[in-house]
Amino acid sequence: MYVYGENIPEYKKGDFEWIDDDLAAAINIEDISEREETLIRLLYEYFKYYPDDYFVDEFDRHYNKNNIDVIYKNKNRSGWCYKKP
């Protein structure tokens, strides 16, 4: 996991252009294989503090706080990150 604050280094900005070319901060998670439960818990806690942010995956699926809340509260959430929100 790589976390970039308000000043994303120039050499890394290209990694995020597909989201927004004027992105102020980003978290890049390269591989979530077998870490889906950890990711949903992390996102659930993250959105408590930053409810206006969004999570975008490599397939350009967008998740907001409401999406994550619904997924987190679902008892059958296995494979959640491989389905459209």
Sorting pLDDT into bands at 50, 70 and 90, what band is 19? low
Q: Phi, psi at residue 63, to the nearest 5°?
A: -125, 135
Residues 36 and 2 in one domain: no
Residues 53 and 74 in one domain: yes
pLDDT at 84: 81
Q: Phi, psi at residue 55, to the nearest 5°?
A: -110, 130
pLDDT value at 33 more than 60? yes
pLDDT at 3: 63
pLDDT, tens digit, 9 for 90 and up, residues 34-77: 778 888 998 999 999 988 888 877 777 788 899 999 999 998 88
Residues 47 and 13 in one domain: no
pLDDT at 57: 74
Residues 37 and 69 in one domain: yes
pLDDT at 78: 86
- The model's pTM is 0.71
The HSE-up count of residue 22 (CA atoms within 13 Å, CB side) is 0
For residue 21, give its domain range: 1-30
